[in-house]
Structure 1
Amino acid sequence: MTMQLMFYEDKAKNLVEQYTLTEEQLRYTKSPKESIALAKQDNSRHAILAMDGNKLVTFFVLHEKEGVTPYSSNEQALLIRSFSTDFYEQGKGYAKTALQLLPDFVRKHFPSINELVLGVNVPNRAAQELYKRCGFVDEGRQAMGLRDELKVMSYYMKEVEN
């Protein structure tokens, strides 16, 4: 699997339109279409596509500045929001791979960032386990999400040695 992360561009619009989320998934996350519309109105939001070859398999938004405020007081943190994997691509390791690629992507495009933060719905145990396996830590902080209480988890960026 040669997966890569890239910023959304309009030429990927048809891939986004084919991206499938179930009603159950949409209880916990916004659709890529909705997220991209928000990102177009707010330049502190960056829509990210996780591509496996020419297939869009995972989608999320990196939100800087005020987007982070409800989750962290660190001004050098970046919020991961609207994280999802296409329904037909679930269970293939794409979400985990996307999260593993993320620190290098962030170092390259957002060099001042030292922490990644996300809010995960308290009932969504599978996602919490995934984030833990990818190095996120639960320090007992909570925030209010769209419908549920969110567990706030952080990934601390390590200095890369050259």
Structure 2
Amino acid sequence: MSMKLMFYEDNAQSLIEEYTITDEQLRYTKSPQENIELARQDHSRHAILAMDGDKLVTFFVLHEKDGVKPYTSNDKALLIRSFSTDYYEQGKGYAKKALQLLPDFVRQHFPHINELVLGVNVPNKAAQALYTKCGFVDEGRRVMGFRDEIKVMSYSMKDDDKCKI
């Protein structure tokens, strides 16, 4: 698996159109199309593609500035939102690998960031287990999402080898 993370650019639109996200996944997240539209309107949102060769396998958004405010008071934090893996690529380790690549990607493109935060729906136990395995910590904060209560999890950029399993 030779994965890499990259910023979405318009020439990747066909990859987005081929990306499969199910109704079950959409209970917990917005589609890549919706997220790209939001990122076009809000320059503090960055659509990120996790590529395995020329195949888009995982998609998420890094949201800075006001985006993190509901989750943390740290203005040097970056919010990971709408994290999903293509339905046909699930169970192959791509989500974990994307999370392993993320700290270095953030250091390279957002050097001022010292914390990653994300919100995970309380009923979504599989995602919580993945994030925990990759060094995210539940610090007991809860916020209301668009459907369910959300557990806020945090990853300190100072703790480097948390997701090297």
Shorter-chain TM-score range = over 0.9
- Counterpart for residue 156 of structure 2: 156
- Counterpart for residue 108 of structure 2: 108
Does residue 45 in structure 1 map to residue 53 in structure 2? no
State the Cα distance separating 1:158 from its structure 2 match. Answer: 1.4
Query: Aligned equivalents of 1:68 and 1:94: distance in 2?
Result: 25
- Counterpart for residue 23 of structure 1: 23
- Counterpart for residue 163 of structure 2: none
Q: Secondary structure of the equivalent of 2:140?
A: strand
Query: Aligned equivalents of 2:100 and 2:146: distance in 1?
Result: 27
Query: Aligned equivalents of 2:159 and 2:151: distance in 1?
Result: 26
Does residue 120 in structure 1 map to residue 120 in structure 2? yes
CA deviation map 1:91-132 (0-9, x unaligned): 000000000000000000000000000000000000000000
Query: Aligned equivalents of 2:28 and 2:159: distance in 1?
Result: 32
Distance verdict in 2 for CA 1:130–1:159, change over 3 Å: closer
Query: Aligned equivalents of 2:62 and 2:111: distance in 1?
Result: 14
* Percent identical residues: 78
State the Cα distance separating 1:39 from its structure 2 match. Answer: 0.1
- Counterpart for residue 139 of structure 2: 139
User: Tell me, which stretches of 5 or more residues in structure 1 are unaligned?
Assistant: none
What root-mean-square deviation, in Å, do the aligned CA atoms of Structure 1 and Structure 2 show?
A: 0.8
